[in-house]
Amino acid sequence: MSAILTSTPIIFIIFVLLTALFSYATGREADKTPGGEHELEAYACGQRNISHFVSPNYERVFKYAFFFTVMHVLVLVTATAPHGLSLMPIIYVTSGLVSILILFKRFPE
């Protein structure tokens, strides 16, 4: 009986039911005030479009984010590689190093 209760489909159904119950309980407490005339606009609070807005440029951050992502995935793949399989992590580390070299050649300081 305990094996059935801890099986994946049963746990999934329990979580779906708990989520539905939580949604119903919190939905009863939600604000029911009707929306105004600007409810369906881009900004529901009624803010008008602005002619000049800030558009941040993240180009300088890209190489650091890419470097972190590549290194993070390389560490995860090599740390969790099976004991007998050493070729796959070597290929992965080599491709990661090549991508990092390309990154620093393309975006120098």
Q: Indicate the SS3 state at residue 107.
A: coil
Q: What is the pLDDT of residue 88?
A: 83
The arithmetic mean of pLDDT across residues 77-82, rounded, is: 86
Residue 90 scores a pLDDT above 60 = yes
The arithmetic mean of pLDDT across residues 28-52, rounded, is: 70
**Phi, psi dihedrals of residue 74, rounded to the nearest 5°:** -60, -45
The token duo for 17 is 């039911």
Q: What is the pLDDT of residue 13?
A: 95
Residue 14 scores a pLDDT above 90 = yes
Length of the chain in terms of residues written? 109
Residue 42 scores a pLDDT above 90 = no
104 CB-near residues (< 8 Å, 6+ apart):
63
